[in-house]
A and B are shown apart, each in its own frame.
Chain A
Amino acid sequence: MTKAQHPQVVTANHLLDGDVIYLTEALDWTRQITEAAVAHDPRRAAALLDEAQSRPHEAVGPYLTPVALDARGRPGPLHFRELYRTTGPTFLTDEAQNVPV
């Protein structure tokens, strides 16, 4: 299956704190990819992206990214970069200087 055939979600960084955010069905922002609105076809995907781009003062650099759906239909990251965006830094240090994932 090519990327275009995967369902997609819209993700961006939050303007104020840079957090990774996703656009929801309610056209709100969430920090949980599982709560993101899923576009199953390109037209819906384009509409979601349009919506995100029309709100440049909430979200920076919105883009579409393909997702995998779990048994309950909730989206999760497909590419490892998107996986790391959901977890934060993946490494732990002995110092308590990093947010544990």
Chain B
Amino acid sequence: MYQYDAFDAAFVRNRVAQFRDQVERRINGALTEDAFKPLRLMNGLYLQLHAYMLRVAIPYGTLNGAQMRQLAMIADRWDRGYGHFTTRQNIQFNWPKLRDVPDMLDALADVEMHAIQTSGNCIRNVTTDQFAGAAADEIADPRPTAELIRQWSTDHPEFTWLPRKFKIAITGSPRDRAVTRAHDIGLRMLRDDAGEVGFEVLVGGGLGRTPMLGKVVRAFLPRADLLPYLEAILQTYNLLGRRDNKYKARIKILVHETGIDRLRAMIEAAFDENRRTFAPVDPGLLDRLDAAFAPPDFEAPAEVPPLVSPALRSFIDTNVHPHRLAHYASVTVSLKPVGGAPGDATSDQMRLLADLAEDFGHDELRVSHEQNIILPHVPRRHLPALFARLREGGLATANVGLVSDIIACPGMDYCALATARSIPVAQRIARTFADIDRQHDIGALKIKISGCINACGHHHVGHIGILGLEKAGVESYQITLGGDGTETAAIGERAGPGFSYDEIVPAVERLIGAYLDLRHGRGESFLQTYRRLGAAPFKAALYPDAPAERRAHAG
């Protein structure tokens, strides 16, 4: 794991001390809210509907047992005994008191963590695959490259005042678990014909108000050219990106308005220039980055006890992902139990996860953008014991990738920007499909819910997406169909008029009922069926009373 050096440690402590002073000055009246707000946001502190909220960075979603245990301690001591894991691979505490926040930040620094939000119109935290460094289908661990990008971008004077914030995602596997096509820049590792490792480069993806998928700007970029090429993209965007209108300022709009071919020509020209002048990356740095993310000391293959229990086999079916070593596995611990809030974990659960990582998983944990926790490196011989302990702790829900494994943003139960609630909608759907056999019968299905147009819940790339809005003074939920966040990415299509809070779950039930009727057996997933048949039969199920004519034009 990446270890803080003296510089990092001093930097983080220094920021806490500064913030402690700023909080003091806000409380004693020396600072106005207008002056304080940007300062607290830079330190991850938001003011939500009912309370402050502290957002803690978990770079690349990677943490160890001691860090998880410290998060549990913070939840108990200064919050309400739980935390919320998010699609940006971080954790949010929902109830901190202003006076306590500097102490919370010091407690984070004790375990080399922080809440410094690379906020503002700069290059944000790079996100990646939750199975990075472990997945069987991976070419190489993307995290050293992600960290290289972070170091290049963090101190970059030219890119601290971009037209708008800028998000980069990277995957080391052809199976895209990092939603790379929905980021400003997506990087997909691949090999060329000569076997050299490089990246396919996508630009112009993003969700929010104007959802768009990234377009390929470079089919193959050798790894050594990465920084001068990224610099060329950023230079071109910095020069041409619109600053006149906040809603048109993301690079996706530039790609849309300029056209990918013209933009590519400009980027290539800038890249040619950069390549001549760019100082090559210090190979010592690359070695240090690789070492920081080096795999643990894997054990030798050992005999795996027979998997007798059907419950364990069902758990392995859904929650276990192939590891690059055949005698290892990556285990996803679902934070989506029926009756829970998606992504929430209690302090007891966090401590259990820390123990399990130490006992069975080389002390490594990950947070996925799907709001679950992963033990990336578990010897298969430990699976029965691990499963038993998860079960005791109420964390053995075998629903990963199924209908109740829902992404939901905090929505109007916490978020000040929300136009409707999302968590209780997720809960009602999960309850409706609580029967695990029924869930397995329905098969792979991704439902994603956002409480407003900002799309923190990724609804545009849900197979079934739900967007909560306000209509005529009540909550109204709009359904999108056929979205996909993987390598076969698609933006969901609006199905038609919205549904009320009480109608939305029955509407989802009708959709799933239609799928079960229409599919070619259990081998055809919801998304495949949708792609084969198009929206019409699903719209018919959603709006049974609408005349076919109107249905065709709905949305």
Interface residue ranges, A against B (CB under 8 Å): 13, 15-20, 56-57, 60-61, 79-81, 84-85, 88-91, 93-95, 97-99
Contacts and interface: CB of A to CB of B under 8 A. Distances in A.
Given A18-B98, A80-B475, A91 B423 contact: yes
Q: Is the interface of A mostly helix, strand, loop or mixed?
A: loop
A34 to B, nearest CB: 18
Interface in B492-533: none
Interface residues of B, number: 38
Contact of B27 (A16, A20, A84): A16
B358 interface: no
A18 B27 contact: no
B48 A18 contact: yes
Interface string B465-503: 000001001110000000000000000000000000000
Contacts of A61: 33, 47
Contacts, number: 88
B341 interface: yes
B341 A90 contact: no
B97 to A, nearest CB: 5
Interface of B: 26-29, 32-33, 47-52, 80-82, 97-99, 337-341, 344, 346, 394, 412-414, 418, 421, 423-424, 427, 470, 473-475
A80 B394 CA distance: 34
B337 A90 contact: no
Nearest to B349: A95
A90 B49 CA distance: 12
Nearest to B37: A60
Given A18-B50, A98-B341, 16 more contacts: A16-B27, A17-B51, A17-B52, A18-B48, A18-B98, A20-B50, A56-B33, A84-B412, A88-B50, A90-B424, A91-B424, A93-B340, A93-B344, A93-B427, A95-B82, A97-B346
B98 A16 contact: yes
B453 to A, nearest CB: 15
A95 B346 contact: yes
A89 B473 CA distance: 19
B26 A15 contact: yes
Given A17-B98, A94-B337, A84 B413 contact: yes
B473 A94 contact: no
Given A16-B27, A17-B97, A93 B33 contact: no
A80 B29 contact: no
A80 B341 contact: no
B421 A13 contact: no
7 contacts: A15-B27, A18-B50, A20-B50, A81-B412, A93-B339, A95-B82, A95-B344
A80 B50 contact: no
